[in-house]
Chains A and B, each alone.
Chain A
Amino acid sequence: MRVLRALAVVLLCLCCSTVQAAEKELNVGFIYVSPIGDAGWSYAHDQGRKGLDGMAGVKTSYVEAVAEGPDSERVMQNMARKGYDLIFATSFGYMDPMLKVAKQFPDAKFMHCSGFKMADNMGNYFGRMYQARYLSGMVAGGMTKSKTIGYVAAFPIPEVIRGINAFALGVQAVNPEATVRVVWTKTWYDPATEKEAAKSLLDVGADVIAQHQDSPGPQEAAQEKGVYSIGYNSDMSAFAPKAHLTAPVWNWAPFYKNVVEQVQKGTWKAESVWPGMETGIVDLAPFGAMVPKELQDKVMAAKADIIAGNNKIFVGPVKDQKGEIKIAEGVVAPDADLLGMTWFVQGVVGTTE
């Protein structure tokens, strides 16, 4: 009798779950490392999530300000347990926790941003931000008078170093003598420290401040000093309307839509993808009114070149700080080299240590 009853319960459960599955919407979860109001990294991802809102049969939700490490593992586990079908984790430090959770929940699909580890149900993705950084470098190079550009940077990891190098190559494309000075803050989001770092660059004569930081602190410093700035992540002009020239920005919505569609159709595979400007995942924010028309045209022409695939940016000859050739004449640096970049190009002042 007891066996029968147990069987009945199991059957009932099975029925319920299949009925549910037939009607079920696709539940998509997002995990952000900072609050979404930060006008930076997480804000850009959340704009991408909002892009999914209109899609039929898709329900999204997010958890913000999740610390990397054990906390994030708990959040992901919770989402998977609640039956989320697709989970996006948008910070590098979520990689190992996600890998662990992905193995525990083989039915859910996992997507990790900016990492390199994969599983059967876990892929990773990023965008070629360095292309937009190159263009913003051209703008900075065209606007500087002191030929010194300051760059407030977070951590000396390949992603940031690659961005600085692309930026410097963009600067040199219009202003060969200009140098890019780098200050590391060792923080992603600390407005006070980042503003102070920008000020230290202003004190050594920088008249354009660029940043690989998520807070608008450096923008404030530039505006107060009456010089120019280049934002990051999203259009930061609201924080420094008189200083903000443009910003390399993320536009995740088309990419997220594409992934969701693949999952809906059942064509999704665990892959490592690194799309560029041609897909619109990275772009340049609108120019400030102080950027002259000729410079704008020049930058837009370069953008068209990048989209058409004619300008790969890291094309030899590229020399490092010591003047040694790192990318030989005519060679396009392979993706593996870009992903592991640990040296600065010539014209960058600073150290990668």
Chain B
Amino acid sequence: MELAIIVPLLAAAVQSGTPILYATLGEIFTEKSGVLNLGVEGVMIIGALTAFVVALTTGNPVLAFVAAGLAGTLASAIHGVVCLWFKGNQVVSGLALAILGTGLADYLGTGYVGQTAPGFSPVALPVLSGIPILGPIFFNHDPLVYLTYLIPPLMWLLLMRTRPGLCLRAAGEYPAAATAAGLDVDGHRWWGILMGGFFMGLGGAYLSLAYTHLWTNNLTGGRGWIAVALVIFAFWRPGRAVFGAYLFGGIMALQLRLQASGTQLPSSLLLMLPYALTVIVLVLSSWRRGMSEAPAALGVNVEPAD
């Protein structure tokens, strides 16, 4: 293959990886606090619909983007109420949230199908976009892609190098010890759930504001589930999440480009690639479990002491 094919492919990988990246970062943040939220798909699609409706009514994509984050926070608050207040099963609650979100967005969004809302368009960054090869791959996108270059390092700093981050991780690793140290474990888990939901909502918004400027039922198309798998692939590290999201985005873009270039491979086989990769990745990451940084108390509710 030559550069003329590889560069657009990698640029497409970055773009189709971006919504997954937002959602994966959100799920990492939530899981670090010890809460498993399988409702990513539902939270994302609520974010996508909110973004679309706000952009359509106000004409302001920035406002729409923020509103999508807040809608994501609100949607995942349901998970918080079930798991933190009522100590409900996290797996069941998450699955219910995924189904609820998809259904709710279908129901509320029916009237918006087929309309076009204002959104974000690619803006080439001055100087940086002029760098050969790297410029067109990384610096010729919409502003929402650039934002994802900043979030992983900031999230890493927050989690690994600040006191609130340490407390959040303590709530996820060893809640009993954290409680003994006087930490409000459920309080930190709330913050993990709500912040995580914010990022998942942003991931949905990327689909309806930048990737396309349309709304449709099932716009997320399973990207939320891929995000859940990617958290494991990323060993709960924001930096590796970037790599994972682009890898998945790249495989999705690659199979379409292989078809366009006139390959004789059956398209059904090519379409299987991203999912086959999910399975392989999960096998490989469980094999190298030693490197994994799964929060020890992930999915375990903290029962009231008395």
Contacts and interface: CB of A to CB of B under 8 A. Distances in A.
A51 interface: no
B254 to A, nearest CB: 9
Interface in B103-132: 106, 110-116, 121
A351 B260 contact: no
Nearest to A35: B113
Interface residues of B, number: 39
Contact of B262 (A36, A37, A38, A181): A181
Interface in A135-168: 150, 156
Nearest to A348: B262
A187 B266 CA distance: 16
A272 interface: no
B279 to A, nearest CB: 19
B217 interface: yes
Given A37-B115, A200-B257, A215 B262 contact: no
Interface residues of A, number: 43
A181 B260 contact: yes
Contacts of A187: 221
A203 B111 CA distance: 34
A308 interface: no
A50 to B, nearest CB: 15
B216 interface: yes
Contacts of B261: 204
Interface string A6-49: 00000000000000000000000000001111110001000000
Contacts of A197: 256, 259-260
A80 interface: no
Interface in B258-277: 259-268, 271
Contacts of A96: none
A64 to B, nearest CB: 7
Given A37-B112, A184-B259, A196-B253, A190 B12 contact: no
B57 to A, nearest CB: 16
Interface in B1-54: 5, 8-9, 12, 16
A186 B268 contact: yes
Nearest to A179: B262
Contact of A37 (B12, B110, B212): B110
Contacts of A200: 12, 253, 256-257, 259-260
A142 to B, nearest CB: 22
Interface in A200-226: 200-201, 203-204, 206, 215-217, 220, 224
B211 A37 contact: no
Interface string A171-192: 0000000000111111101111
Interface string A230-256: 000000001100000000000000000
Contacts of A199: 8, 12, 256
A65 B110 contact: yes
Given A193-B221, A196-B253, A204-B261, A216 B8 contact: no
A83 interface: no
A206 B304 CA distance: 63
Given A184-B259, A206-B260, 12 more contacts: A34-B113, A35-B216, A192-B207, A192-B212, A196-B16, A199-B256, A203-B8, A203-B12, A217-B214, A220-B214, A239-B116, A351-B266
